[in-house]
Structure 1
Amino acid sequence: MTARPDPRREIDGDVYVSPRHLASSTFTGDPALTPLLNLDWDLRHDEDGNVFVSAPDQGVRLGYLPEGPDDGLWRINAYADPFGPPAWGVCFNNNAPTEFVTALTTALAIAYQQGSDAYLARPQAGTDERDPLLAIVPLLEQSWDFDRPRPDVFAIRAPDRLAVMEYTAGNLDAEAELVSRTARWHLWAGTSIDHPLWYATASTNTPLALLTALTQSVADPAPLLRWRQDTSSYRKGMAQLTPIPAPGPKPPTPLEVHRAVGLRRPAALPAASVPRWSTTSQPTAPTPRR
């Protein structure tokens, strides 16, 4: 018996991926860099193709590191002292959907224009406006629900159980938060925390406005546009792929119709003798044979 082809393998070209947390990266950093470059931030790169963007006052630095030492493709740090340790740090790995990174850098650009009080604003538990747990509200509004995977971890999980936002309570190592996945906030997708489809981390003092911009983008029910690729989420059939139909042939213009009729007209038949037809015309009676 001939095996039936997998219908997912027949999909090619542009597709919509839903839910969006199962989309992968677009593998281009331009959309996420644009909000910062529009503010005339300094752009540099090394011989390996890594890109470094820094604010004029060196208060924020971003690294886009396709040739970095690990899978942390995006590393964004803010500094109260340009020569001191980072006040906060965010990391996205190489498979994180680019739209999520763009949402955060867009919020960062807005905060930077408002000054250091905005882009260095520390969340404060128990307050009405800066409580860090307010960042999960966009997810709750899209029916994500609470979970408690570990005693010190509070989590909120997507309806399909394939994306999780984790918040770790207690004291954390500030340096480890910046270089590992043991950060205050840990967002990941897939079936295993050890082998996620993608992940993002944010350290303790990441401003609430940036966290909320990220969760709003993740919670958005709109699908993401992608080129059909063999990523793990697509192979396992977890994501819903909706092909975008190719546009149909363009209807001919009146000029093209006129030319086509003129080419088909018999040369010996004068144009004035060609009968016109409309929906109100009566069929022409047959001419008797001689």
Structure 2
Amino acid sequence: MRQPETPQPSETELDGDVFVSPRHLAAATATGDPGLASLLALGWELRYDDLANVYVIAPDRKVRLGYLPEGEDDGLWRINAYNDLFAPPVWGVCFSDSSPTEFVTAFTTTLAKAYEQGSGAYLAPPDLGHAGRDPFLAVVPLIDRGWQFEYPRWNVFAIRSPDKLACLEFTTGNLDPEAELTTRDARWHLCAGESVDRPAWYATASTDTPMPLLTAVTECVSDPAPLPRWREATFSHVRGLARLTPIVPPRPPAPTPLDVRRAASRRPAALPVSSIPRWSTTSRPVLPDARR
């Protein structure tokens, strides 16, 4: 079943001076806090290192998130899940430093829900024979919103956005498990920009990433609702390709009849005619006849 459209942010929640559409042409926001909020709400441990990198760790230590502004590469967000604390990760996901924060938040919010359901949810690998774990589910939101399939090279199929500026690639065959976790050579590769080789932003997901987590990202990426941003923070090389709509401050609502009656009830009553002074402070009183 297709998920409902993401509502447009209310005017009181906006941070920016333009709406960016399509949303895959937006840049990251100034803070990554929204991407951490759903996990911290579950009581996950929050740590920092001396370089100001942030680490969020599940209570059972089997899911770990790193927010790495001072990392070794442009992978700002790295999320790994483990079946055994002393073994390599079961799956890993990476978002680059320019990835729109809303896409990361969609992933971590769904991850928080899966974690509450148990390891059978957050460690469940894709499965063609399971209705809720079919890899095809990840591309359904894209198909529903007009993205088109392509076959750019051998053993890769892709699905591209209507404006040709975003693409999700799926690589078939065997892949190096370590390379999937540390490079862009992963099973799933999502990116935006005019070139796949030099994208504006990218996200990768390894082979065994649970489908509900990846589907949450593709649902968010393809959502037609625009994202609020500051104009100068929009990628310079795609700014002319995005639709930038100024954010106009909301007008005050028109008063209702009830508002009018309430205002009238609070207004001071008019002075009675008999109380109006006959003389102003500068008027001279009329003198008796004898002294005129």
| Equivalent residue, structure 1, for 2:134 | 131
Identify if the C-alpha distance between structure 1 residues 225 and 52 changes in structure 2 by more than 3 Å, giving closer, same or farther: same
Q: Is the 8 A contact 2:35 2:101 kept in 1?
A: yes
Q: Is there any run of 5+ residues in structure 1 with no aligned partner, and where?
A: 1-12, 263-269, 273-290
Normalising by structure 1, report the TM-score.
Answer: 0.81
The structure 2 residue matched to 1:120, chosen from 120, 123, 137, is 123
Cα deviation code 1:111-140 (max 9, x no counterpart)? 101111110001013543322122100000
Instruction: Name the aligned partner's letter for residue 62 of structure 2.
Output: G
Q: Is the 8 A contact 1:22 1:233 kept in 2?
A: no
Deviates more, 1:235-244 or 1:92-101: 235-244
Q: Is the 8 A contact 1:197 1:233 kept in 2?
A: no
Output the CA distance in 1 between the equivalents of 2:220 and 2:277. 63
| Equivalent residue, structure 2, for 1:168 | 171
Output the CA distance in 1 between the equivalents of 2:206 and 2:102. 20
Instruction: Name the aligned partner's letter for residue 121 of structure 2.
Output: A
Output the CA distance in 1 between the equivalents of 2:122 and 2:144. 26
Q: Is the 8 A contact 2:27 2:233 kept in 1?
A: no
Instruction: Name the aligned partner's letter for residue 30 of structure 1.
Output: D
| Equivalent residue, structure 2, for 1:96 | 99
| Equivalent residue, structure 2, for 1:57 | 60
Output the CA distance in 2 between the equivalents of 1:34 and 1:130. 26
| Equivalent residue, structure 2, for 1:275 | none
The structure 2 residue matched to 1:205, chosen from 197, 205, 208, is 208
Instruction: Name the aligned partner's letter for residue 160 of structure 1.
Output: D
Instruction: Name the aligned partner's letter for residue 210 of structure 2.
Output: P
The answer to whether structure 1 residue 105 and structure 2 residue 100 are counterparts is: no
Q: Is the 8 A contact 1:233 1:239 kept in 2?
A: no
Alignment map for 1:1-290 (pairs within 5 Å): 14-233=17-236, 236-247=239-250
Which stretches of structure 1, 4 residues or more, deviate above 2 A after TM superposition?
Answer: 125-129, 230-236, 246-255
Deviates more, 1:174-183 or 1:128-137: 128-137
Q: Is the 8 A contact 1:62 1:77 kept in 2?
A: yes
Percent identity reads 62
Instruction: Give the secondary-structure state (helix, strand or coil) at the position aligned to 2:151.
Output: strand
Output the CA distance in 2 between the equivalents of 1:236 and 1:129. 38
Q: Is the 8 A contact 2:27 2:235 kept in 1?
A: no
Q: Is the 8 A contact 2:26 2:235 kept in 1?
A: no
Pairwise CA distance, 1:83:
1.6
Q: Is the 8 A contact 2:25 2:238 kept in 1?
A: no
How many residue pairs align between the two structures? 252
Pairwise CA distance, 1:235:
5.6
Instruction: Name the aligned partner's letter for residue 186 of structure 1.
Output: H
Pairwise CA distance, 1:27:
2.6
Cα deviation code 1:230-256 (max 9, x no counterpart)? 43356640110000123568999969x
Instruction: Name the aligned partner's letter for residue 201 of structure 1.
Output: T
